[in-house]
Amino acid sequence: MADLLLGQVLRFEGDPMVEGEGAARHDSQGAVLVDQGRVVAVGPADRLRAAYPQAQVTDYGRALISAGFVDAHVHYPQTAMIASWGKRLIDWLNTYTFPEEMRFADRAYATEIANRYLDLTLAHGTTTVCSYATIHPASVDAIFEAAQARGQRIYAGKTCMDRNAPDGLLDTAQSAYDDSKRLLEKWHGVDRLSYVITPRFSPTSTPEQLAAMGTLWREFPDCLMQTHLSEQPDECAWVKSLFPQSRDYLDTYEAQGLLREGAVYGHAIYLTDRERARLIEAGASLVHCPTSNTFIGSGLFDMGLATKLRVGLATDTGGGSSFSMLRTMAAAYEIAQLRGQALHPAQLWWLATQGSARALHAEDRIGNIAPGMEADLVVVDLASTFAIEQATRRAGTIWEALFPTIMMGDDRAIRAVWVGGKPRAD
């Protein structure tokens, strides 16, 4: 039997980063019809109730029905070490990240964290993530199996590193290629799972390993490739010392066949003019990780790039200090303010849904509410706390009602989550 969800409905018919808030569509008394895992219809509640009288009705009242959040850059293995105190990127990796990732040689531990991570993010309304695993193939199996059990659309890949990391976290150019290919052939396209080719970043991969990943990507061009780019000034200086032959940071990837459509670069804060031009020309995607950039002291992303490139939004767990895309939207707003770029609530919401889906080349499947889309939905209470309720009491528009939840909301605002057309049990 089809399900008819009633409430306020927010969807997009364009790109608000380019077109402004007029790209959004809001039905104050709307409905979404879901059947066999997909959205069948969306529109005014009265019209859909009349058209589908046999549907099972769930009335969410004044709560907002939206596409589920899409987190476009995360490290699920860093779940347990989130909010570790105060280091810059390279020290933070050596002090916290690498020791924790070594624990994923234990398959049972990988499974425990994979399940914990997906439960935490679903509780915050996130229905899709694009995650790095560790160098251990079992860490990829763990996150895909956990996502498969929940019916989620998930993107993930084995992290590849053959230098500048502890011995227990090093592979080789050949083993990275072999392991990645085997995992790709095992998981890519199974149910709602997608494999992502994943060199961690240039400082931990030799040119030979990056070239091996470029070769693999040419063999499987429908996959995404994810890595990091220009997160901190000392990282950029390190890359320059490791790759003296390269024109810039991006060139360390470009020279090895790791720049084209389907490339997803996290951070991208300190870009040269040449890098900006090549990213635009190649049609690459960037992912803004605002809570991570402030927590680790990285810098201020230029959201102006979203008018020229596919730009997504991400928590960057565990460099990011929250599992919540609401908190991530708030941080993106604050960083844009520091750059003199005032982001409208419609733009923030789009970045956390359709914008991130576009960055992952999945905008035809997730990140929006439209007929034929996969039915990953979040239902948001716009009066989840007293502070938020009193701020929205005098709201005259949906944006005035939504913005306090963006800035002050947390998992208490998540009233319900639907994954693949099925409500998630609490």
Q: Are residues 63 and 18 in the same domain?
A: yes
Nearest to 295 by CA among 268, 325, 312, 318: 318
pLDDT at 88 over 80: no
Q: Are residues 30 and 116 in the same domain?
A: no
Per-residue DSSP letter, 93: I
Same domain, 130 and 269: yes
Q: Which two tokens stand for residue 82?
A: 């989130």
Task: Tell me: do 221 and 240 sit in the same domain.
Answer: yes
Q: Could you tell me if 132 and 212 lie in one domain?
A: yes
pLDDT at 426: 65
Q: Where does the pLDDT of residue 404 fall: very low under 50, low under 70, confident under 90, or very high at 90 and above? A: very high
**Model confidence pLDDT, tens digit, residues 253-270:** 999 999 999 999 999 999
Residues 296-316: pLDDT tens digits? 899 999 999 999 999 999 999
Does the pLDDT at position 90 exceed 80? no
> Mean pLDDT over residues 412-426, rounded?
94
Which pLDDT band holds residue 94 (cuts at 50, 70, 90)?
confident
Find the domain containing 61 and state its range.
3-67+368-423
First to last CA, the chain: 22
- 33 and 150 in a single domain? The answer is no
Domain check: are 149 and 24 in the same one? no
Q: At what angle do helices 173-187 and 137-150 cross, to 10 degrees?
A: 20
CA distance 38 to 41: 9
CATH number at residue 388: 2.30.40.10
Within this chain, do residues 82 and 179 fall inside the same structural domain, yes or no?
A: yes
pLDDT tens digits, one per residue of 323-342: 999 999 999 999 999 999 99
How many angstroms separate the CA atoms of 131 and 316, rounded? 9
- In terms of domains, do 217 and 80 share one? yes
Prediction pTM value: 0.97
3-state secondary structure of 52: coil
What is the phi/psi pair of residue 226, to 5°? -120, 145
Same domain for 274 and 182, yes or no, is: yes
- Give the residue-averaged pLDDT of 367-395: 97
Question: Quick one: 17 and 118 in the same domain?
Answer: no
For the chain, give the mean pLDDT: 96
Domain ends where: 312, 331, 359?
Answer: 359
Q: Based on the domain organization, do 386 and 333 belong to the same domain?
A: no
Number of domains in the chain: 2
User: Where is the domain boundary, 359, 379, 406?
Assistant: 359
- Specify the CATH number for the domain of residue 274: 3.20.20.140
Domain ends where: 322, 340, 359? 359
pLDDT at 269: 98
